[in-house]
Structure 1
């Protein structure tokens, strides 16, 4: 640190604060969005096509998880 320069204005100090963890908030919003999308699909298409959509999404997520683990 240079003398006479306040800590907040010291450009030589490149330490960043720890980033907040937004994982829980992101997963909660994903669940909320999927919920209303399924309700709209159920209202517009019926129950069986909504189940097919859920099965397709489940298969896609499983394939992504498999690809990430490999």
Structure 2
């Protein structure tokens, strides 16, 4: 049985995750723009912004 204190630390992939989220969001918006137009991209971007804001308020509102 391995002891937990002899394992190496796990790498921090937070920055890579943020970068890949931005890259994926960009190409998905480009595909939506090509198929349905700029208005659809603007609407989806607005919805994503509202969802992220709600998550932020829910997470930080409990701390306040």
SS in 2 for 1:61: helix
Q: How many pairs align?
A: 60
1:2-17 superposed matches below 5 A? 11=1, 13-15=3-5, 16-17=7-8
Q: Deviation at 1:12?
A: 6.1
Superposition CA RMSD, Å: 1.3
What residue ranges of structure 1 are gaps of 5+ in the alignment? 1-10
TM-score, normalized by length of structure 1?
Answer: 0.78
Determine the C-alpha separation between the residues in 1 that align with 2:2 and 2:41.
56
